[in-house]
Amino acid sequence: MMYDIILIGLGPAGSIFARCIDKRFSVLAIDKKTADGFAKPCGGLLAPDAQKALAELGLNLPKDVLVDPQIFSVRTLDLDSGLVRNYQRMYINLDRRKFDLWLMSGLPENVTRATGTVTAIERADDGYTVKYAAGGQEFTARAKILVGADGAKSAVRHFICPKLKTRTYMSIQQWFSESNPVPFYSCVFDSENTDCYSWSVSKDGSFIFGGAYPIQGARAAFERQKEKLAAMGVKFGVPLRTEACLVLRPTGLKSFCCGKDNVFLIGEAAGFISPSSLEGISSAVISGIKLAEVLNAAQSSPQSRYKRKVRRLRLKLAAKNLKNPFMYYPPLRKIVMKSGIKAIDVK
């Protein structure tokens, strides 16, 4: 089959791109998610930038995507210094699986969805050939344009930027039945086990705990952190399920790859994720919109135009590395938390 565009990945970046691309394009969207099998380590909190981007598209969240409770402060736990502070945050607490499925449900008629796993990407005279497996069979499709929205372990990024090395962590998350007396959202710093951070959040009678760890020894570090938090009174219980995946953490502008030769990358496949908070939904939505705008305009040099379109996003994400010393260097973090700047009192 010949298409104008082959899109790989239907997370927030891919789904938003598919919603925004002009209907004159025929699009094949390949994604491995199923309604029952989708699981990804994610706190499932919609940040203000993502809320704004969805609002600009006129998209309103259906109530079945939202979960209880809606929490407006984050409890920051510094296990190095023993300090605890609460900070106001305007996140929307949602069910990440339902959120992704809701975005996918709005694909227009010009987008053909295929549930499968990409097995090969090859150059062809008229563009690119993509092979994918689905239902025990292998299929082949061709397109002039290839869009990678396939996350941290992007096959499209490896195909087009094989030498790009971006700092990578292992994200691990577990679900438990909620047994903590008061639901809460927390951010955990613990330099003994990771130079990144961990999180917990309550959702509809469940309690989830996850974190990002150096790949070597990630699971052991995860379990050690649980033991530390349990000693502080956090209640876990028996894990109901465990999720894990790779997550990128860009160190600067050289960590990003927008694509080349009619191959475009959006979302975390391009490296668009916050190096300070690991929040990636807002960058996914924004980059999906920007790429669709470029291709819809049908002007020359779409590759350079897309790179210019996401220039502000790239600069913003790269600049977030300036926050890292105040968050991840224990002496500076201790000074910030002891000062009480922007902290709120929770009675």
Q: What is the pLDDT of residue 54?
A: 94
Label the pairing between strands 92-93 and 206-213: unpaired
Q: What is the pLDDT of residue 38?
A: 67
Label the pairing between strands 84-88 and 343-344: antiparallel
Q: What is the pLDDT of residue 197?
A: 97
CATH 3.30.9.10 fits 73-94+167-249+323-344, yes or no: yes
Q: Residue 59: phi, psi to the nearest 5?
A: -95, 130
Q: What is the pLDDT of residue 48?
A: 93
User: Are both 2-55+96-165+252-322 and 73-94+167-249+323-344 of the same fold?
Assistant: no
Residue 108 CB contacts under 8 Å (≥ 6 apart), including other chains: 18, 19, 23
Q: What is the pLDDT of residue 346?
A: 82
DSSP assignments along 48-77, one per residue: HHHHHHHHHTT----GGGB-S----EEEEE
Q: What is the pLDDT of residue 37?
A: 60
Task: Report pTM.
Answer: 0.94
Q: Which residue has the tokens 């096959």?
A: 155
Q: What is the pLDDT of residue 184?
A: 87
Taking 50 as the pLDDT cut, the residues of the chain under it are none
Spatial contact of 199 and 43, defined as CB atoms under 8 Å apart: yes
Q: What is the pLDDT of residue 101?
A: 92
Q: Which residue has the tokens 């577990």?
A: 174
Q: Which one-letter DSSP state was computed for residue 215?
A: S
What is the spatial distance between Cα 179 and Cα 171, in angstroms, rounded to a whole number? 24
Spatial contact of 134 and 114, defined as CB atoms under 8 Å apart: yes
Spatial contact of 5 and 110, defined as CB atoms under 8 Å apart: no
Q: What is the pLDDT of residue 212?
A: 97
| CATH number of the 2-55+96-165+252-322 domain | 3.50.50.60
The residues facing 168 across adjacent strands are 248
Residue 15 CB contacts under 8 Å (≥ 6 apart), including other chains: 100, 103, 104, 106, 107, 288
Dihedral (C-alpha) 215, 219, 203, 18: value to the nearest 10 degrees?
30
* Composition of the chain by helix, strand, coil, percent to 5: 30, 30, 40
Residue 30 CB contacts under 8 Å (≥ 6 apart), including other chains: 6, 7, 8, 9, 114, 116, 118, 130, 132
Q: What are the residue boundaries of the structural domains of the chain, listed by start?
A: 2-55+96-165+252-322, 73-94+167-249+323-344
Q: Which one-letter DSSP state was computed for residue 181?
A: S
Q: What is the pLDDT of residue 125?
A: 85
pLDDT (tens digit per residue) in 236-295 = 999 999 999 999 999 999 999 999 999 999 999 999 999 999 999 999 999 999 999 999
Spatial contact of 119 and 137, defined as CB atoms under 8 Å apart: no
Q: What is the pLDDT of residue 35?
A: 67
